[in-house]
Amino acid sequence: MRRLLNICLLAVCLTSTTGCFLPIYSARPERRVQQLLYTSEDMRMLVEEWERIWHLDQPSHMSPIRTHGGTM
């Protein structure tokens, strides 16, 4: 039982540090900058997509100033 617990604890420790053993970005600085830019652009696009799906990017119709919709 103790051996199984030690193996499980070791497995948890090793899987939580996968990013250190298997780097997701390149070792070359210029390539790494390009990869980071692509990743940040994807995250920005994800936020914009989320707002579009939930219609958060639409103008608010609850403005305090009443506007006339027709031509004056």
pTM (2 d.p.): 0.41
DSSP collapsed to 3 states, the chain? CHHHHHHHHHHHHHHHCHHHHCCCCCCCHHHHHHHHHHHHHHHHHHHHHHHHHCCCCCCCCCCCCCCCCCCC
pLDDT tens, per residue, the chain with 72 residues: 899 999 998 888 777 665 666 778 888 999 988 888 888 888 888 888 888 888 877 766 666 666 666 666
Q: Where are the domains of the chain?
A: 24-57
